[in-house]
Structure 1
């Protein structure tokens, strides 16, 4: 089930974001992600439009939007590969006419996921915080 996030979901969302980031972004030191945990909880997530994927009463994933920008889409490692990410992305598509996001080029699994779900690469840039190349991706309702 997808629902609007509640403030008491923040701990679970930050945990999912961190755990999934460390695994998916193995090319970035875990200490980098750890340093952003407080800001995710106090700034980034509360300022976004958030939806959580709830499974058996537990938060298993979430998507964060800022207008048409997908700021975050993360699924708990133990829940990945079961459709939660696709459902969250489809939910965002049902709310917006266009979506934009950035995914690290070295996160091949994410790039393939987004391409499989209708997004296309439109360019690339270097992330100023990590120095890693990000692929700019876009989806538009047809």
Structure 2
């Protein structure tokens, strides 16, 4: 039996989800400036999470969120793992769930987040387009990736 479960996140869990997001970003997004993290934190908490289908993964029988993803239509908008839970297959599990259960086949990734780019490539995603700016107009190039279904 799998020791982790994936479930829908409620708005009452958004503060904890943002804590996971921030811990993950600080561990993996060394290209971001402190003011960027401060800028994005309330946007994620008060805008993005409310507009997306958010799923969390936790150890069975425990309440603590280890990782989460947020999906809109066929696009994975966020997938973040708490640094203490990295390397345990949770990203793979969330991604497989997104593809198989939520029919997601697209993801945008910060080009400078080489670990994430490598992860998605390993999972069968290919870069189909590049944008010089992120969605908020900041100078962080984005790779638009799609699941290669060939």
- Which residue does the alignment assign to 1:47? 51
Moved over 6 A (4+): none
Is the CA contact (8 Å cut-off) linking 1:122 and 1:137 kept in structure 2? Answer: yes
Question: TM (normalized to structure 1)?
Answer: 0.91
RMSD of aligned C-alpha atoms?
1.6
Q: Kindly report which structure 2 residues correspond to 1:76-115, keeping only aligned pairs within 5 A, or say none.
A: 76-115=82-121
Q: Measure how far apart 1:141 and its partner are.
A: 5.2
Shift of 1:30: 2.1
**Partner residue in 2 for 1:135:** 143
Aligned to 1:57, what secondary structure does the other structure show? coil
> 1:15: which partner in 2?
19
1:8 Cα deviation from its structure 2 partner: 2.1
* Matches of 1:43 and 1:85, distance apart in 2: 23
Q: Which runs of 5+ in 2 are unaligned?
A: none
Q: Give, in whole Å, the separation in 2 of the partners of 1:31 and 1:98.
A: 31
Unaligned runs of 5+ in 1: none
Secondary structure, counterpart of 1:46 in structure 2: helix
Counterpart secondary structure, 1:45: helix
* TM-score (structure 2 length as normaliser): 0.87
